[in-house]
A and B are shown apart, each in its own frame.
Chain A
Amino acid sequence: GAVVSQHPSRVICKSGTSVKIECRSLDFQATTMFWYRQFPKQSLMLMATSNEGSKATYEQGVEKDKFLINHASLTLSTLTVTSAHPEDSSFYICSARIGGAGPYNEQFFGPGTRLTVL
């Protein structure tokens, strides 16, 4: 099956610093990658969608200047949380899709990155 990895799996940082999370599709090329956020005991909320070589599309309420997304290749997307604050502490999950938009192109999920901002 299609495998998506994330690095790091856990990160703890001080308030005000920036943190970069990597998402890789290991055995396929991902036209589109997605970033989700999951707060404790809550569901996954889509933050943004990125297509390789294009600017990411952010969901309403997600600050694009705070959550920088780079999708430089068909196998790698990065999420940088800039000037992190304790309220950014969350579980960040990436997902990758083969092919374009549409119900028949399945998304594959990474294992997630737990970010704790002190």
Chain B
Amino acid sequence: AQSVSQHNHHVILSEAASLELGCNYSYGGTVNLFWYVQYPGQHLQLLLKYFSGDPLVKGIKGFEAEFIKSKFSFNLRKPSVQWSDTAEYFCAVNKNDMRFGAGTRLTVKP
């Protein structure tokens, strides 16, 4: 079945630590990939997206993601997290409509 998998349910880091959140998908063919962030009590915000071209995508707030087609992966990274990055992060895949992963809760300790 087609799915979007985020393996990390809850990640806890200290400030300045590096972050990598995993995302794998099981769709065949051409897809577009997204990462969204949702701060507590707020709506979705688009962090970055991949449509085509350079598989290393840079987004807002210092986030980046790498599309590895052979691994069906689109992992999110940030070299040095801040307390303000505490939020829920969702990976999403668009083939005919947008489907979301279960989300990863990131807690950054000051």
In the complex the two chains form, what is the Cα distance from A107 to B32 in whole Å? 11
Contact in complex: B102, A103 (CB < 8 Å): no
A95 at the interface (CB under 8 A from B): yes
How many residue pairs between the two chains, A and B, have CB atoms under 8 Å in the bound complex?
47
- Give chain A nearest CB distance to B86 CB in angstroms: 14
**For the complex, what is the distance from the CA of A36 to the CA of B103, rounded to whole Å?**
15
- Chain A residues with CB under 8 A of B99: 46
**A69 CB → nearest B CB, Å:** 14
B18 on the A face (CB < 8 A): no
How many chain B residues touch A (CB < 8 A): the figure is: 19
If the complex has contacts A34-B97, A44-B100, are A112 and B43 also in contact, measured as CB distance less than 8 A? yes
Whole-angstrom distance between the alpha carbons of A111 and B96 in the complex? 22
How many angstroms between the C-alpha atoms of A42 and B105 in the bound complex? 10
Chain A interface, number of residues (Cβ within 8 angstroms): 21
CB–CB B100/A101 < 8 A: no
Residues of B12-65 whose CB lies within 8 A of A? 30-32, 43-44, 49, 51
Cα(A104)–Cα(B51), bound, Å: 7
B98 contacts A by Cβ under 8 Å: yes
User: What are the 3 A-B residue pairs with the smallest beta carbon separation, nearest first?
Assistant: A101-B96, A111-B43, A103-B32
Listed in ascending order, the chain B residues whose CB lies under 8 Å from chain A are 30-32, 43-44, 49, 51, 90, 94-103, 105
Where the two chains meet, the residues of A that have a C-beta atom closer than 8 Å to any C-beta of B are: 34, 36, 41-46, 49, 93, 95, 101-104, 106-107, 109-112
User: Could you list some 11 contacts between A and B, CB below 8 A?
Assistant: A42-B102, A43-B101, A43-B103, A44-B44, A45-B100, A103-B32, A107-B94, A107-B98, A109-B44, A111-B43, A112-B43
Beyond contacts A103-B30, A109-B43: 12 other A-B pairs, Cβ-Cβ < 8 A, are A44-B44, A44-B90, A46-B98, A93-B44, A101-B96, A102-B96, A103-B32, A103-B96, A104-B32, A106-B32, A107-B97, A109-B44
